[in-house]
Amino acid sequence: MATELPTGVDVEVMLTFLDTVAKLHEKVVTIHNDHPQGDLDISQLQATLATTVEKVQGELHTDDADAFARTCVKLGQHLLTRVDRVIAAQGLGDDNVDLREVWPTAAIEALGERIQEIQTRWPVSM
């Protein structure tokens, strides 16, 4: 059953979060499949994700913030950890960093399933 966005959390922030997560997933899948040792420039997506997660997390104390917001924060924190690992691996100066080793296929597929679950449970316009 679909629910509405929590009123205690800024709708634009939530939409930005969902859009960023979808773009990150899309970019990682494309690079993972086509050029696993290519440059994965995700710094802008990382910055946007970090900002939106911080904003949503800051609003979790409100009574209106619900499971949707908490789910998004949990997913966002997990993704930030993954993205940080990729960026750290690239920062080692090894041009042959294999994305499949840093961010395995199973984890990318799980992310896609989680995004699908969120979109199904809380359908919003992205």
pLDDT tens track for 14-61: 888 889 999 999 888 887 777 655 556 788 889 999 999 998 888 777
**What whole-number distance in Å separates Cα of residue 21 and Cα of residue 28?**
11
Q: Rounded to whole angstroms, how far apart are CA atoms 59 and 86?
A: 29
CA dihedral 18, 65, 50, 44 (to 10 degrees): 30
Residue 39, token pair as written in the block: 């440059």
Q: How far apart are the first and last CA of the chain?
A: 19
Eight-state DSSP code of residue 10: -
Domain positions in the chain? 11-121
Q: Is there a contact between 20 and 48 (Cβ–Cβ < 8 Å)?
A: yes
- Tens digit of pLDDT for each residue in 60-113? 776 555 777 888 889 999 999 988 888 887 776 656 667 778 888 898 899 999
Is the entire prediction scored with pTM above 0.85? Answer: no
Give dist(CA 83, CA 1) in Å, integer. Answer: 31
| Contact indicator for 53, 69 with CB cutoff of 8 Å | no
Using CA atoms, how far apart are residues 91 and 88, in angstroms rounded to an integer? 5
Contact 60, 70 (CB under 8 A): yes
Q: Cα 67 vs. chain centroid, distance in angstroms?
A: 17
